Amino acid sequence: MGLLKHALRGLLVSLLLALSTYAQDTPADNWGQFRGNYQLTGVSQSRVPDTLKPLWTFEAGDSIESSAAIVGTTVFVGTQKGELIALNLDNGNVHWRYSTGGNPIGESSPAYSEGAVFIGDLGGMLHAVNARDGSRFWSVKLGSEIKSSPVVYGDRILIGSYDEHLYCVSTKNGTVIWKAKTNGPVHSTPGIAGGMAFIAGCDEVFRAIRISDGKEVFSVSSGAYTGASPALRSGMAYYGTFNNEVLGVSLAKKEVLWRYEHPQRKFPFYSSAAVTASRVVLGGRDKMVHGLTLSGKPAWAFTTRARVESSPAIAGGKVFVGSNDGRFYVLSLTNGTKLWEFNAGAPLSASPAIANGRVVIGSQDGRLYCFG
């Protein structure tokens, strides 16, 4: 009876994953969270002009490592100054500024849901802000510094903390519903599929955690420290590690199906992958943007002048990505050919957001750029 129960449970998990991990690309008018959607695929349906030009630049006053969210005609972005800022997508005019109270916002990126914007800061606070006027709904302390980005699932927020927990928090009042213990800082933003949150851990373990009660459903050894977030598509999870590898993990089989490592250049992968129906694309500290097939075979590589920690975004057969060489690149998804570049003059470690035909990315000198 125990074996039958176990088999049925495994079958149910597989069916749920098959039904839900077919990643729907991010809608054209809404990039409402880190990587655009629950599956963290980094792919937008938006039609971006073939020839880009800078439309506006905003001076935030301190480094921007947080990736922007775009909802309709509003851009939300966090800064090291400890501000969450809302701007007009058309012209960069400021709608409002929200102060964290002195805590810088690092890599945690805003997530929008039902009139609220959520973001974490390096002081360990999770903030809920009124998207209309920037007033505070609530804030709550979650252990230690937060670099993970919030993901809103119904009336729950999933977010990691450096206190080694993945938290599930009520959107209504910030009450902690549950917290799941890991064995290292939770830098990863959770990807969601089949009622489960998936995180690639700093403790070298990839975990599936049930959102309803915070129980771990299964885990897979990555074999290395992981700073990236997993991209989910068609029953697979894709992410890079600090052991210089990119992994393809089967969610149904609960095992690593393949590992990719560049034959010569042995450098960590910190950038989170973008995944389409044909390509896995991510940046490496080897100064390259890597394009792989879904089976982990190299398709192309594009070399920049510095490490690539920005996570690529994809729209219309093009890859959009920043580099620490201070340049913003547009590449062909098919073969990695450079189509366009813009010299921002400062490292671009934040990731692009794409919506309404616009691409928004921040730089470490505090400038937010909008291209279209």
Domain range list for the chain: 2-371
Q: What is the pLDDT of residues 296-341, one digit of tens each?
A: 999 999 999 999 999 999 999 999 999 999 999 999 999 999 999 9
Strand pairing class (246-250; 255-260): antiparallel
Q: What's the CATH fold of domain 2-371?
A: Methylamine Dehydrogenase; Chain H (2.130.10)
**Burial grade of 22 (CB within 10 A; 0-12, 13-18, 19 or more):** middle
Q: What is the mean pLDDT of residues 241-250?
A: 97
Cβ neighbours of residue 369 closer than 8 Å, sequence gap 6 or more: 54, 56, 57, 328, 342, 344, 360, 361, 362, 363
Is the pLDDT confidence value at 116 over 60? Answer: yes
Residue 25: its pLDDT value, please? 86
- Among 165, 184, 293, smallest CA distance to 241 is for 184
| C-beta separation of 186 from 202 below 8 A | yes
| C-beta separation of 152 from 169 below 8 A | no
Which pLDDT band, with edges at 50, 70 and 90, does 24 fall under?
Answer: low
Query: Rounded distance, CA 198 to CA 344, Å?
Result: 34
Helices and strands in the chain, H and E counts: 1, 34
Is the pLDDT confidence value at 185 over 80? Answer: yes
Q: Which residue has the tokens 């928090």?
A: 169
Of 30-39, 259-268, 302-311, 358-367, the least confident: 259-268
Question: How many beta carbons lie within 10 A of that of residue 220, not counting itself?
Answer: 20
Token code pair at residue 250: 């089967």
The dihedral built from the CA positions of residue 199, 205, 211 and 214, taken in this order, carries a sign that is: negative
| C-beta separation of 66 from 100 below 8 A | no
| C-beta separation of 252 from 21 below 8 A | no
| C-beta separation of 256 from 296 below 8 A | no
Which pLDDT band, with edges at 50, 70 and 90, does 19 fall under?
Answer: very low
Percent share of the chain, pLDDT over 90: 92
Token code pair at residue 362: 């921040």
Which pLDDT band, with edges at 50, 70 and 90, does 99 fall under?
Answer: very high
| C-beta separation of 369 from 54 below 8 A | yes
Query: Rounded distance, CA 310 to CA 308, Å?
Result: 6
Residue 6: its pLDDT value, please? 45
Q: What is the mean pLDDT of residues 171-198?
A: 98
Q: How far is CA 331 from CA 2, 56, 101, 272, 275, in A?
A: 52, 22, 39, 17, 15
Which pLDDT band, with edges at 50, 70 and 90, does 4 fall under?
Answer: very low
Token code pair at residue 332: 């062909």
| C-beta separation of 339 from 69 below 8 A | no
Is the pLDDT confidence value at 22 over 90? Answer: no
Q: What is the mean pLDDT of residues 73-98?
A: 98
- Among 5, 8, 13, smallest CA distance to 194 is for 13
Query: Rounded distance, CA 267 to CA 294, Å?
Result: 21
- Among 80, 146, 157, smallest CA distance to 112 is for 157
